[in-house]
Amino acid sequence: MVARLTHEQAVLYARVSSKDQEREGFSIPAQQKLLRQHANERGFVIIREFIDVETATQTGRTGFGDMLAFLRATPSCRTILVEKTDRLYRNIRDWVTIDELDVAVHFVKEGAVVSKTSRSSDKFMHGIQVLMAKQYVDNLSEEVKKGLREKAEQGHWPGVAHVGYINNRTTRRIEVDPERGPLVARVFALYAMGDYSLQALTRKAFEIGLRHCRGNRRMTKSEIHRMLRNPIYTGDFHWLGKRHGGSHEPLITHETFEQVQAVLGGKPRTRSPRPRHAFMGLLTCGRCGCRMTAEMKKGRYVYYRCTGFRGACGNSYIRQEELVDRLGTVIERIQIPSEIADWIADSLRESQHSLEQTRRESIATLSQRRQAMQSNLDRGYDDYLEGRLSQSLWMRKSADWESELVTIDAELSRCLARRPPMSLQAKRF
């Protein structure tokens, strides 16, 4: 029996979900050949072809969206040619969208045609196939989530390696990049010194040869900042809001990482304290009015003398012990009246209450921010597994969210740490 030639207009849609599929049997050319042959046999005129190639770095279906827009704008074309069900639909939403267009869909490899005029039994069977495809995608997503979570629990980074590491495709683990790893460690060491701004460090990283592992391009300031915030270089890592002890080789120590976080947070770094003498900045020379400065002799005796800023005045040295005795006779006569002491105590109690209220409000705000960041991370991960978020975008956004979680947790720890209450008792001597 010879098929009737229709000469109707049709569009062709082909899709592969990874480069491996494109190479191994599900290729776009193979689908195009099958669909064009079907069009010739049925007498369809293919007026547009739409193609989607989803890779590890680019997901989403631009071709699918373009096809929908074309069909809405072209009432004369009401036929779609596609290889099979799971090439066209990825979820129930796609099915509903296609159904609303009032088009006939030819699933060539399955030998089925679905349209508004199809028998209810055909529509029912087609719906079963769509649900089965959806169940397969959902199950695959659950298995991928479970596998990645289990990998993280075992201490193995489950994603693409960060700058300074490389993915070993054989062991499926991350290893130190022999070229970039030492450079990353050097960048951390330079910033820990506190002598570089982020802008200056970005320039320095470029000068010493540190390039991004993807594209071998110059790293931006924001990328350098995220790198400095990432604990993966200490051997630990965050995955889905939880910190894991990694099994990979660290590039820096935890001490260096904490120093870097202190510099990023604007906290003063621990340094050898300069000697602070008891009366520095409090005394002036009785003869010329210049300030008195202190000197330590023989590593234990402290002497005060005039700086002589206006010239030698003839004043002599005085030992700190003698100053203590002289000033003590003056200070012991100082008394705080009881009403002043009570006022000071009341003011301190009010300040303590205000600080405690501010602390509770800060904890509530930080907790809300943390919950929002965790929700963003969870939703983003689901979108990544469902193909609605590209891998490059997921890696960038998840790094931002995880960095924000680390910052929020640090702020929460500081807020949750209670300080001893301020107290003062006025006593009349």
Mind listing the pLDDT tens digit for each residue in 243-253? 888 888 999 99
| Least confident among 223-232, 322-331, 364-373 | 322-331
pLDDT at 308 over 50: yes
* Predicted pLDDT at 60: 57
Nearest residue to 88 via CA among 71, 74, 8, 76:
71
* Predicted pLDDT at 170: 86
Torsion 177-179-180-182 (CA) sign: positive
Most confident of 93-107, 109-123, 385-399, 406-420: 93-107
pLDDT at 429 over 70: no
Average pLDDT for residues 245-270, to the nearest whole number? 82
Bridge-based pairing state of the strands 79-82 and 9-16: parallel
- Average pLDDT over all residues of the chain: 79
The rounded percent of the chain whose pLDDT value lies above 90 is 18
* CB of 352 closer than 8 Å to CB of 376: no
Query: Tokens 């983003």 sit at which residue?
Result: 380
Average pLDDT for residues 268-286, to the nearest whole number? 65
Torsion 107-110-111-115 (CA) sign: negative
Task: Using pLDDT thresholds of 50, 70 and 90, give the confidence band for residue 23.
Answer: very low
pLDDT at 12 over 90: yes
**Rounded CA separation 266/271 (Å):** 15
pLDDT at 3 over 70: no
More confident residue, 295 or 183: 183
Q: Is 109 exposed, middle or buried (0-12, 13-18, 19+ CB in 10 A)?
A: middle
pLDDT at 272 over 60: no
Average pLDDT for residues 83-93, to the nearest whole number? 81
More confident residue, 261 or 351: 261
* Predicted pLDDT at 59: 46
The rounded percent of the chain whose pLDDT value lies above 70 is 84
**Rounded CA separation 197/263 (Å):** 9
Would you give the end-to-end CA distance of the chain in angstroms? 120
Interval 357-416: pLDDT, tens: 777 887 888 888 888 888 887 787 777 767 777 777 777 787 777 777 777 777 777 777
pLDDT at 420 over 70: no
* Predicted pLDDT at 188: 93
